[in-house]
Structure 1
Amino acid sequence: MKSREHIDPIFEQLFSQISPEVADSFTDEQLKAIQRGFGSQVGARHFLDIRFSLPIPRLRFYLVLLAGSERRSQQRLRNEKARYPLFNTGNIIFLIGFLTILLSCSFTIFSFFWSSLSSISTSPYPTSIPWIVDKSECEHTNRTWHDEKCWDDVHSPMF
């Protein structure tokens, strides 16, 4: 194999799978052109790049989520659209499952939030005022003295 400087690891991995007879048949110009092709992908980072394996017993699945600015050519976009259609059986099953989980979680959170709001009573109710221990002081503040306690008939629970 001819000497190559600053080799891209992806290029090296793929190039190592080529038989030595074929690999030696490349000219330096051809090798540099191929390396430039691989080099254009080095450093092409995505804004969002999430990759992980899903630990499902007896099954080997992985999930990749990429997002970023579109840099592919129109020709490449057309080729990929034909090669990887959005609406196929696997994608539809995944989207239905994902939307079902999302809606279930949203409904649960909304129900919990709504029930916690509706359980708070905003209407006033009577309550005793523990720091007023004298009937005259209680009546002076327009409250009611009853059972040796000062009662406020319009206490707000939002207080």
Structure 2
Amino acid sequence: MNNEQPSHSRSREDWFTKGLKERLPSEVRESFSEQQLQALKVAFGARRWGKHPVDLRGTLDLWRWRYYFVLLIGRNRRELTRREQRISRVMGALSLVGFLLFSVLVGLLVLYVLKSALGINLMPNTSLGLWDWLKSS
């Protein structure tokens, strides 16, 4: 069999085929047919997205069943459909509103505790009881 492969065919090889051939001994490297390479790709479940900054996988044993979990976090490199882009924008906006609301509530809480610690009473005979609870803890 001819070990030389035409340059146009070599440039069309996908990342899986290139990676597989790099790991094979030179005498076997070019012996696979296109059909065999495709079958190997399917058999190995080739996925390009292998490395993530956060890749947490594990199993939980609860009573008689085992559950698995996977948490992957990384940059999204997929092409999104229009619908997915719209959902992404809405979720981003909701996340921003949620974060701002949480930040405002925490800020107001801190201001209230500081006001109470300084003994400032804006409304006589009115208290949330938070300062008294914090002092007793």
Per the normalisation by structure 2, the TM-score is: 0.35
Per the normalisation by structure 1, the TM-score is: 0.31
The structure with the greater share of residues assigned to strand is 1
User: Max radius of gyration: which structure?
Assistant: 1
The structure with the greater share of residues assigned to helix is 2
